[in-house]
Amino acid sequence: MPDDRLWNIYAGLDFLTPGARETLDVVSALVPASSTARVLDVACGKGAGAMLLADRHACRVLGIDVHPFAGQLARRARERGLGDRVTFVIGDGGRLPVRGAVFDVAMCIGAPSIVGTERCIDEMARVLRPGGALVVSDWVWARKPVPREAIPLGYDIEPLTLDEYVDVVRRAGLDVLSADPLPQSASDAYYEPLRARVTAMRNERRSGVPQPIEDELRIYDSGLGTQWWRYAVFVGRKP
C-alpha cells in the first residue's frame, strides 16, 4: 500500500491494529522504573504507543517502521517535549538495525505476522537484555482449517493459532509468561472508527481505500471475522 494512502486511511486514528491500548497496558506493567529503561517498538506505525510510553515512564523508546514516517514522527515527538526520549528510524522488523542485547522491553503490536512471525520474534529476542520482556499482540486464527471466505483479499500472510504462536515464542529461546486472547470489545474499538473513516472517504468521493481494507471490514461485519479471527497478547521473558 503506498504510504500516502496508508496515512490518509488512518488519519485521525492513533493505532493501526486492534488491541493496541490493551497491549500498551501490558507493556507499561513491565517497563522498569528507571529513566535509563529502554523500550523497542517494532512496526511503530504512527508512533502513538512509543510516545505514550516515553511520556508515562520517562523511559527511552526506539520506534522502527518500514514506512518512511520517521521524519513526521520525530517532529511530533519534539512538539510533545519528547524529542530527547523517543527516536524513530526506518527499518525492517525482520532485520532490526540494532546491535546487541540492549532493550528491557521489546514490543510489536499487530505486525509480527506481517513481517514474518518467526523472523520478527527471533530478532526481538536477540536484542533483549537477559531478563528483558517481549510483548507482542497479533492476529491468530480461532482454529484451522480456515474457510477461504474468512480471509481478506490481498492477505498473503498465514496467521497462526494461539498454540502455534506460543511455540514460536518458545523456539526464540524465551519463557512464555502468558498468551491471552483479547476481548471482542478490543476489535470493536478498532473497527468502528476505521469503518467510519472509510465511509467518510467514500462519501467525499475520495479514492484510495485499498480493497483489502474494504474486504476486511466486510468480513468482520458479516460475522465471519468474529467467528474465525482472534487477537491475542503474548508475553515472554528472556532467561
Pinpoint the alpha helices (H) of the chain.
3-9, 20-28, 48-57, 70-79, 112-115, 117-126, 162-171, 184-203, 211-222, 224-228
Distances (CA, A) of 140 to 36, 72, 144, 177: 34, 31, 10, 18
* Backbone region of residue 173 per phi and psi (left: phi > 0; alpha: psi in -120 to 50; beta: other values): left
pLDDT along the chain (239 residues), means of 10: 60 84 98 96 94 97 88 91 96 94 97 92 98 97 92 76 98 99 94 89 72 89 93 98
Residue 54 CA to chain centroid, in angstroms?
17
Q: Is the peptide bond before 193 cis (omega within 30 degrees of 0)?
A: no
Determine contact, residues 68/34, Cβ cutoff 8 Å: no
3-state secondary structure of 74: helix
pTM: 0.92
pLDDT of residue 1: 41
pLDDT of residue 206: 61
Q: What is the DSSP letter of 226?
A: H
Say how many domains are in the chain.
Answer: 1
Pinpoint the alpha helices (H) of 81-183.
112-115, 117-126, 162-171
Domain residues for the domain of 106 are 3-237
Determine contact, residues 111/202, Cβ cutoff 8 Å: no
Helix axes 70-79, 48-57, angle to 10 degrees: 30
Question: What CATH number is associated with residue 165?
Answer: 3.40.50.150
Determine contact, residues 107/45, Cβ cutoff 8 Å: no
